[in-house]
Structure 1
Amino acid sequence: MKIAYDPTPLHPTHRLLDFPSATADLGYDFLQLTPHPDFATHFRYPKMDRDLIRRFARAVEAAGITVPALLPVQRISWPDEAKRAAAVKNFRRVIEIAVDLGVKTINTEFSGRPEAFEDSEESFYRSMDELLPIIEREGMRLNIDPHPDDFVEDGHEAWRVLRGLDSASVGFVYVASHTFHYGDCLETLADELGERLNAVYISDAFDHRASNGLRYIANPPTTSARVHQHLKVGDGDVDFDALFATLRRTGFLDREDGLIVSNVFGENENNDAVSRYQKQRIDELIASSSADTRD
C-alpha cells in the first residue's frame, strides 16, 4: 500500500523541482504529480523537456521518495472535436513523460460535458481508440475518476463506461470527496470493481443532498454548477470508517499496488499541519480497519 501526497497546495509557491523534498519533509514517501505549470497545466500541452525530466528524476531520487502516478487533466471526452484532438495530442506527451520517469500509472478524469452525454461518451471512446493501445504497449495503467460536472458522475455508470473498453489496463479512481456525487455507493461499487479499483483519494466534503439540498447553498437556485470540497478528514460528511472498512473487506488495503492519495485543496495557508494530519489519520484509519476485521 502506497500513501502519496498531492502537491496541489504547493503549486502557487513552489517550483516543480521543490516538490520531492517538500513531500519528504511532510512525512510522505510517495508523490502523485499533478497539473503544475512546469508539468502539464489543465488542458494545455505539457512543458517538460528532456532536461527538466532528468532534473526532476534526480530531485526525486535525492529526496528518497517515489512517484507512483501522474495526474493530467485533458479534454479527452470533450464533445468538440478540435479540443478532443488537442487533448489526445497532449495526453500522448504525458505518456511519454511517464515512460521517461519510469512511472507506470496515470490517474485522470473523463473531462466531458454532462449536457452532452452521448457526444462526450463517443468522444471518450474515440480518444481511447488512440490512447489505449499506447497505454497497453507500454505496460501502463490508466485509472479514471468520474468527476463532478463530467458527462458521467454516478459511480456505477462510470464503471459501465470503463468496462466497455474491455481492457485490464483501465481502472477506477475513487475520490472520497466526490462520494455524494457518485451516489454514495462505495459499498456496492467496490464489489463490482474488485481489483480494478486502483486509487483512492482521501479528502472530506459536505453531502450536498442533506437538509433538503440545503447542506450548502449555491445561487441562483437553478444553477447547474457542482459544488464540493476537498477538506481534511473529519471536516465534512464522508464516513471514513465505513470507507476504510470497505477497502479492507475487498482487499484493497492489502495490495502492494494500491494507491491512497491525500488531496486536500482548501487550506493552503495551513498546508504543513493539514498534510501531516492527513498522513496520521490515514495511517490510523488503516490500522483501525485491521482491528475491526480481527474483532
Structure 2
Amino acid sequence: MTLRLGYGTNGLTDLRLDDALGLLADLGYDGVGLTLDHMHLDPMAPDLATRTRQVAGRLARLGLGVTVETGARYVLDPRRKHGPSLLDPDPEARAARTALLVRAVDVAADLGAHAVHCFSGITPPDTTADTAWQRLTGALAPVLDAADRAGIPLAVEPEPGHLLAALADFHHLRTLLGDPGPLGLTLDIGHCQCLEPASPVDCVKEAAPWLRHVQIEDMRRGVHEHLPFGDGEIDFPPVLEALAATGYAGLTVVELPRHSHAGPELARTSIDFLRRATGTRSGAAPC
C-alpha cells in the first residue's frame, strides 16, 4: 500500500497560498493539509465561495489532494487562542465554532477534500467533565449532520491538554454520540509519542478502523512540541510501515505549525526524510 504525503499550510504561513501549493507540488508531495485562516483561505471572507473555486482549480492543476484543517489560532477571536471552542460556557460562542466547522465542511466539499479535521478544545475552568462532554456532543451534532450530507468525514484529533486528549477519549466520544458514520479520527503520530500509553506503532494499529486523517512530526515523551524529523524520539520506519499496512488512503500531513520561518526548507527535508524512512527513491511514491 502507498502512503500519500502532504504538508500543512500552517507551517507555510510566510508564503502566499498559491506559492505554498506550487512549492509542495514541485517537491513531490501528494497533497496539502489546508488550514482555513486569514493568510490563506480565509473562512470569514465575504467572497469565500469565489476564493474556494480558485483554490480548487489550483489544486486540480497541480494534482494535489487536500484535507481541510481547522486549527487556526485566532480565526474567530483575535484575543483568544483557539477561542471560542466547542466547550465554551457561552452557547452563542460554541455556536460560532460550530458554524465555522460547518463552513469548513462546505469548503471541503467544494475542494473535493478527503476529510475535515477538528479538535475539542480545553475544558474551561470550573467546568465538570460531564458538562464538557455534553457541550462537545451538542456542538458537534450539526457538524456531523453537515458532514453526512456532504459525504465527507469529520476527523476529530486527540490533542494534549484538551478534553479529548487521547485515543481513549475519542472512543468515549464515539460512544456518547452513538458511533455516527461521519465521525472519524485524526491521528497525530507525535501526540502518540507524547502521551499515549501505547507506542506510536500500536496506536496506528489500534486507530486503523477510524483513521480519516493523519498528521506526522517528531516529538519527545511528555513534551507537546512539534519537532522536525530527527529532533525527537520517534523511530519512524516501523510507524510508516504500520500505517501503510492499515490501508489508510488519506493524506499523511507533516505538521510543523511553529516553523513557518523555515517552511520551504523543512518541506524539502521532511519529504526527503519520509522517503528514506520508507526506503523510497526521491520522486517516487512511498510504500
| TM-score calculated relative to the size of structure 2 | 0.80
CA distance in 2, matches of 1:265, 1:38: 13
Displacement after TM superposition at 1:195 (Å) = 2.1
Q: Deviations over 1:104-149 (max 9, x none)?
A: 4101212242753322211111022222122112111111111122
Q: Determine helix, strand or coil for the equivalent of 2:108.
A: helix
Q: Deviations over 1:27-50 (max 9, x none)?
A: 313111013315567xx8466522
Residue 9 to residue 194, structure 1, CA distance change in 2 (3 Å)? closer
Which amino acid counterpart does residue 49 of structure 1 have in structure 2? L
Displacement after TM superposition at 1:94 (Å) = 1.5
Which amino acid counterpart does residue 33 of structure 1 have in structure 2? L
Q: Deviations over 1:221-257 (max 9, x none)?
A: xxxxxx5211111101223244234324xx32x34x2
> What residue number does 1:58 align with?
57
> What residue number does 2:216 align with?
202
Work out whether 1:262 is the aligned partner of 2:260.
Answer: no
- Asked whether the 8 Å contact 1:20–1:65 carries over to 2, the reply is no
- Asked whether the 8 Å contact 1:231–1:266 carries over to 2, the reply is no
Point out the more displaced range, 136-145 or 272-281: 272-281
Work out whether 1:22 is the aligned partner of 2:32.
Answer: no
Residue 80 to residue 100, structure 1, CA distance change in 2 (3 Å)? same
Q: Which runs of 5+ in 1 are unaligned?
A: 209-226, 289-295
RMSD: 2.6
Point out the more displaced range, 186-195 or 268-277: 186-195
Residue 46 to residue 177, structure 1, CA distance change in 2 (3 Å)? farther
Residue 46 to residue 170, structure 1, CA distance change in 2 (3 Å)? farther
Q: Determine helix, strand or coil for the equivalent of 1:244.
A: helix
Q: Determine helix, strand or coil for the equivalent of 1:284.
A: helix
Work out whether 1:234 is the aligned partner of 2:246.
Answer: no
Q: Which runs of 5+ in 2 are unaligned?
A: 72-81, 281-287
Work out whether 1:87 is the aligned partner of 2:101.
Answer: no
- Asked whether the 8 Å contact 2:115–2:154 carries over to 1, the reply is yes
> What residue number does 2:75 align with?
none
Which amino acid counterpart does residue 262 of structure 2 have in structure 1? N
> What residue number does 1:108 align with?
118
- Asked whether the 8 Å contact 1:16–1:36 carries over to 2, the reply is no
Work out whether 1:146 is the aligned partner of 2:158.
Answer: yes
> What residue number does 1:193 align with?
207
Residue 92 to residue 268, structure 1, CA distance change in 2 (3 Å)? closer
Q: Determine helix, strand or coil for the equivalent of 1:20.
A: helix
CA distance in 2, matches of 1:184, 1:120: 24
Q: Deviations over 1:195-220 (max 9, x none)?
A: 21232211112223xxxxxxxxxxxx
Which amino acid counterpart does residue 71 of structure 1 have in structure 2? E
Q: How does 1:4-15 map to 2 (within 5 A)?
A: 4-11=6-13, 13-15=14-16
- Asked whether the 8 Å contact 2:192–2:203 carries over to 1, the reply is no
Residue 281 to residue 54, structure 1, CA distance change in 2 (3 Å)? same
Displacement after TM superposition at 1:182 (Å) = 3.5
Which amino acid counterpart does residue 231 of structure 2 have in structure 1? D
Residue 181 to residue 86, structure 1, CA distance change in 2 (3 Å)? same
- Asked whether the 8 Å contact 1:46–1:93 carries over to 2, the reply is no
Work out whether 1:124 is the aligned partner of 2:136.
Answer: yes
Q: Determine helix, strand or coil for the equivalent of 1:3.
A: strand
Tell me the number of residue pairs that the alignment of Structure 1 and Structure 2 aligns: 262
Point out the more displaced range, 46-55 or 169-178: 46-55
- Asked whether the 8 Å contact 1:46–1:94 carries over to 2, the reply is no
Q: Determine helix, strand or coil for the equivalent of 2:117.
A: strand
Identical positions, percent: 21
| TM-score calculated relative to the size of structure 1 | 0.78
Point out the more displaced range, 176-185 or 274-283: 176-185
Which amino acid counterpart does residue 30 of structure 1 have in structure 2? G
CA distance in 2, matches of 1:36, 1:47: 14
Work out whether 1:276 is the aligned partner of 2:260.
Answer: no
> What residue number does 1:67 align with?
65
Q: Determine helix, strand or coil for the equivalent of 1:54.
A: helix
Greater relative contact order (Cα 8 A, min sep 6): structure 1 or 2? 2
